[in-house]
Amino acid sequence: MTQLTTLSGTSPSRFAFGTMQFGGKADETASRALFDACRAAGIRHFDTAHVYTGGASETLLGQCAAAEREALFIATKAGYVGGSSRDNILTTFGISQKRLGMDVIDLLYLHRFDDDTPLEETFETLAGLQTSGKIRYIGVSNFAAWQVMKAQAVAARFDTRIDVIQPMYNLVKRQAEVEILPMCASEGILAVPYSPLGGGLLTGKYAGGRAGGRAGRLTEDERYGARYGQPHMHDSAQALVDLAEDVGSDPATLAVAWVSYHASRPVPILSARSAEQLRPSIDGMRYPMDDDLYARISALSATPPPATDRLEEA
């Protein structure tokens, strides 16, 4: 498995923090409080993207990280808008560097797969950034397993490799268990999954099966409303609330601890709008998960069938 290191040579924490809310739902003061809460909890791995909050996310993260840059692990993403062509990667990465105020970015992800650009062009560009010392690791986000392996073969031609993948993964979105997480374990790729709380669904705030007017991503963002709108997902969320009450914990704490306990040992990306909202997820970093509780939580949602769909052999 890929062992990431900071510029100072230390290993990042087993959890990361996503700054998608910096400069959006979290203003400058709230963003600083979130960053400080993460550092107090031992988090050194911070994730952003060129497109987040019109660039404010990168700018605010850069300001927060400046005083201890070499002790931190900073990731950003390119190619969500405009594709993964050489020109787009170099242009947007240059802007990201300026916003972050950093000569070296630890990890650069391709934000999504680009069908319209040859992988050779993309990975020659990334390899050049790596060779020049502007990036240290290459990652991909929202790729299918076959896309990762296809890209990995191309990356090898340029003497580099994909070290990290950022998939969606949580108790009600478990598709990554079918091929992505097994691929990571087999090929030494680190999984850094986003949305361990299912857009807030697994915090319990929408308990009862419907959003019910509660403020949050499921009511404020049509994409999240569609992504987590299935009744069975709300049933699982309610069951998690009930289980959390039974074991004397918070559903968000259990949701985070459950993701991190997977056998492939992924690094969940925590996120929140405020330090107070973040607290249950921080607690998940230290929660004493065991095999029995992991199995109880897993049973609250359907395990996806294997890739071959031969359930009798699973």
Between CA 60 and CA 66, with CA 64 as vertex, the angle to 5 degrees is: 115
pLDDT of res. 217: 80
- Whether the predicted pLDDT of 82 surpasses 60: yes
Mean pLDDT of 63-84: 98
Q: Whole-model pTM?
A: 0.95
Q: How far apart are alpha carbons 111 and 82 in whole angstroms?
A: 11
pLDDT in tens, 177-218: 999 999 999 999 999 999 999 999 999 998 764 444 466 788
Domains of the chain: 16-200+250-288 (3.20.20.100)
pLDDT at 312 over 80: no
Quote the pLDDT of residue 215. 66
Whether residue 170 is predicted with pLDDT greater than 50 in this model: the reply is yes
Of residues 28 and 211, more confidently modeled: 28
User: Known catalytic residues?
Assistant: 52
Residue type, 151: A
Nearest Cα neighbor of 80 from 125, 117, 46, 113 is 113
Between CA 197 and CA 103 the distance in angstroms is 33
Output the pLDDT for position 314: 63
Average pLDDT over residues 293-314: 90
- pLDDT, mean of residues 83-96: 98
Average pLDDT score over the chain: 95
Whether the CB-CB separation of 79 and 129 falls below 8 Å is answered with no
